[in-house]
């Protein structure tokens, strides 16, 4: 979240973050990021599936035993952490691309403004 906040406001730290993200997105970086993201998404879906299965069993039996209760709480925490991490990663990626597009557009527009004056 701190990285997202740093990307939102113009500062020297923002310039460093943009340079770092640019370097990270070169070469094999995007491939690694996509494969890690896909792996986390699969594990997230597995955790959600297990929570649904435990919930179905509790409906059939009428009550949750303590072991299943602990498992369900653990799986819910795990799923929420992974979902939140994926969301933040997507937000960082989108912010980075919007900032880069904005910089490119400013470079294109500024020479035109100076030429018109």
Query: Who contacts 63 (Cβ-Cβ below 8 Å, separation ≥6)?
Result: none
Q: What are the extents of the domains in the chain?
A: 65-107
Question: For the segment 54-101, what is each residue's pLDDT rounded down to a tens digit?
Answer: 889 888 888 888 888 899 899 999 999 999 988 988 898 889 889 889
C-alpha 19/C-alpha 13 separation (Å) is 10
Banded pLDDT at 21 (limits 50, 70, 90): confident
Please answer whether residues 72 and 64 qualify as being in contact, where contact means their C-beta atoms are separated by less than 8 angstroms. yes
Token pair, residue 110, equals 């500024």
């Amino acid at each position: 979240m701190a990285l997202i906040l740093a990307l939102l406001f113009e500062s020297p730290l923002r310039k460093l973050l943009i340079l770092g993200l640019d370097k990270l997105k070169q070469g094999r970086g995007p491939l690694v990021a996509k494969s890690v993201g896909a792996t986390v998404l699969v594990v997230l879906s597995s955790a959600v599936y297990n929570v649904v299965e435990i919930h179905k069993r509790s409906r059939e039996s009428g009550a949750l035993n303590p072991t299943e209760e602990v498992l369900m709480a653990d799986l819910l925490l795990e799923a929420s952490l992974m979902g939140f991490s994926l969301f933040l990663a997507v937000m960082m990626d989108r912010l980075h691309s919007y900032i880069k597009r904005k910089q490119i557009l400013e470079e294109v527009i500024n020479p035109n403004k100076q030429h018109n004056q």
